[in-house]
Structure 1
């Protein structure tokens, strides 16, 4: 019986932001490094050994690792490093599906070299030409390749042999399955299910009854390594998002509203630039105790208009204010989903857009002190140097 070779690579840069800082400053190499002060954006593996994790408050991170070196993020340096690494990905194979700034799937099935040799060469090239460590997992499915890279971290290479997928998967903790967070893991643990094998052994109907149809069927398939998705190049994003870390300083409702204006302006601009529209608007919050919550609304009419997006975000935030007042807030974000090409959806007419902007201007005039500035923000234009900036 013919068994296909594992030809899908999941390449994932290790502690990306922190690794760039250690690369660029030799004095940081081998030392615990934290990127970001108020909230941890990234931590080197030396800092992770002390329990420091991404999204942790800076104060908690410094208590866990007093000797850590805290550096300010340099987004331009990280973007440049990402471009250099992705150039090496695309020089390896044209079939590259980027997942984020620091990870991608590669399909190397059309190359003459063995996939494990391709992966080893790619790791050498990234280390030699870009100066960064990268971990690669190799398997026959995207899901398993990503799991393999997670198991192999840091700075490793792991090939899941064909025919040995389930043997590799079954003993792994259930959190290795995509979509299993702390809440789902706790729910499964109450039924004695702590490994991927335990999920695979459950009847699909039982998982659906426990977790719902979407999550139940999804996890049942993954636990048995059923993942037919190919590596897709040039696929359009299904959602866009932006967020703002707030640190530990309490924010007034006026400050939060101004942050929403900025997020809505940025996301609306991205939609219009890509000639896309959205139907679902989601507000994402991280409270002072680092618990996360999200609130969504699906619109009856698809839109790319900043005022409409802003109005939805304001309503979602207003509903969450009582919880924010009692628990605090360390991060606010927004995302737009159910995206479509704007040519396929009839948008609001220009005079309708003008009325929407005028209404939004009335709502924020007092906060910015200038209706002209506010109108420029809502329409996606540069408001100029008079636009007030929020303190970090």
Structure 2
């Protein structure tokens, strides 16, 4: 059985690593899902500890509360997808289990909103709703060819499998996957939505350029908003396919920002994180019919060559003119005080 452990909120890296070490005391098959979750395969641990998966989850929750003051939410299922859905379906601070039984899985997925499935964002959910496909069970009962006509071949097949509770992935032990971050701090608490969108455009241009320079793609994008009262809001979106294409990243970032409804909010800083990185050479890309996509990618490649020759600010969208170019940090090295001030002003960094 697979445990999806949600830590309640993004955790600082030292705390997050201690939480991973705690999970590692119960199974060597623990996979980091930074900044606020982890997966654990406890199939081989139940006999050793003399507890079932629910008992191990309760023990992990108790130790996390005692050592770190965190009230974990744990979803248990026969695969990572169902464990994640169980963790997020209901109130936080509980243990929820999906039994390894086809009928139980069908009952669990019945009535589950389509938007709760990984990879289904607001636009995809609206498209599915226009065809009457608002729940996972309706999607699972839809012929595959119909879904592929609506969403495309790869996306339609993947969505139908998820709606049926099928997930062939395994828990992969290892360190937290590498991420790329970019942050912009405003000179004053910014109430203007147009200026915030321009800052997001600037951040996505930098993330896209860094991803392409390092021949990486990302599958998840996380937006963190810091307000004038120092409270924060964090939203993460799983992309329908891995990408390093700046226009795609920009559209997702603007969509995340728009979904927050920050009409009168005073924002101190915006941060974007590209997560679930993978090598671009091994990443498939859904082909688009028509010249627009290829033309945009050729222009993007030309802009990358100009930046490599003349500097990172050589080519940029007009709306970002005047914004400071981000500072960078080498992975695994702590920045000096002067660098930390540069990062706070608006930097991209590798973590």
Residue-by-residue CA offset, 1:53-86 (whole Å, 9 max, x unaligned): xxxxxxxxxxxxxxxxxxxxxx7xx334323322
For residue 99 of structure 1, the aligned residue among 15, 25, 33 is: 33
For residue 182 of structure 2, the aligned residue among 239, 242, 245 is: 242
**CA distance in 2 between partners of 1:209 and 1:258 (Å):** 33
**CA distance in 2 between partners of 1:139 and 1:262 (Å):** 35
| CA gap 1:146/1:88 in 2 versus in 1, 3 angstroms | same
1:110 aligns with 2:62: no
| CA gap 1:265/1:357 in 2 versus in 1, 3 angstroms | farther
Does the Cα contact within 8 Å between 1:138 and 1:145 map onto a contact in 2?
yes
| Distance apart, 1:157 and its partner CA | 0.5
Under a length normalisation based on structure 2, what TM-score does the superposition of the two structures give? 0.61
Q: In the TM superposition, what are the counterparts of 1:95-244 in structure 2 within 5 Å?
A: 95-111=29-45, 112=47, 113-163=51-101, 164-234=104-174, 237=177, 240-244=180-184
Report SS of the residue matched to 2:173: coil
Does the Cα contact within 8 Å between 1:143 and 1:225 map onto a contact in 2?
yes
Under a length normalisation based on structure 1, what TM-score does the superposition of the two structures give? 0.55
1:55 aligns with none
Residue-by-residue CA offset, 1:8-64 (whole Å, 9 max, x unaligned): 0001022x26xxxxxxxxxxxxxxxxxxxxxxxxxxxxxxxxxxxxxxxxxxxxxxx
1:51 aligns with none
| CA gap 1:232/1:245 in 2 versus in 1, 3 angstroms | farther
Compare 175-184 and 98-107 and name the one that shifted more. 175-184
Aligned-residue CA RMSD (Å): 5.1
Report SS of the residue matched to 1:136: strand
Report SS of the residue matched to 1:105: strand
| CA gap 1:91/1:211 in 2 versus in 1, 3 angstroms | same
| Distance apart, 1:209 and its partner CA | 0.9
In our comparison, the structure showing a higher alpha carbon Rg is: 1
| CA gap 1:249/1:196 in 2 versus in 1, 3 angstroms | same
| Distance apart, 1:359 and its partner CA | 4.7
Q: In the TM superposition, what are the counterparts of 1:9-158 in structure 2 within 5 Å?
A: 9-14=3-8, 16=9, 78-111=12-45, 112=47, 113-158=51-96
Aligned residues: 280
Q: In the TM superposition, what are the counterparts of 1:291-306 in structure 2 within 5 Å?
A: none
Report SS of the residue matched to 1:92: coil
2:299 aligns with none
**CA distance in 1 between partners of 2:123 and 2:329 (Å):** 40
Higher relative contact order (CA 8 A, sep 6+): 2
1:356 aligns with 308
**CA distance in 2 between partners of 1:258 and 1:211 (Å):** 27
Structure 2, unpaired ranges of 5+: 225-235, 282-304, 347-351
Does the Cα contact within 8 Å between 2:114 and 2:120 map onto a contact in 1?
yes
Residue-by-residue CA offset, 1:202-228 (whole Å, 9 max, x unaligned): 011111111222221111001111111
Q: In the TM superposition, what are the counterparts of 1:326-341 in structure 2 within 5 Å?
A: 331=270, 333=272, 335=274, 339=279
| CA gap 1:383/1:297 in 2 versus in 1, 3 angstroms | farther
Does the Cα contact within 8 Å between 1:148 and 1:158 map onto a contact in 2?
yes
**CA distance in 2 between partners of 1:146 and 1:166 (Å):** 16
| CA gap 1:104/1:220 in 2 versus in 1, 3 angstroms | same
Residue-by-residue CA offset, 1:282-340 (whole Å, 9 max, x unaligned): 99999xxxxx999x9868xxxxxxxxxxxx79xx89xx9xxx9xx99975747496536
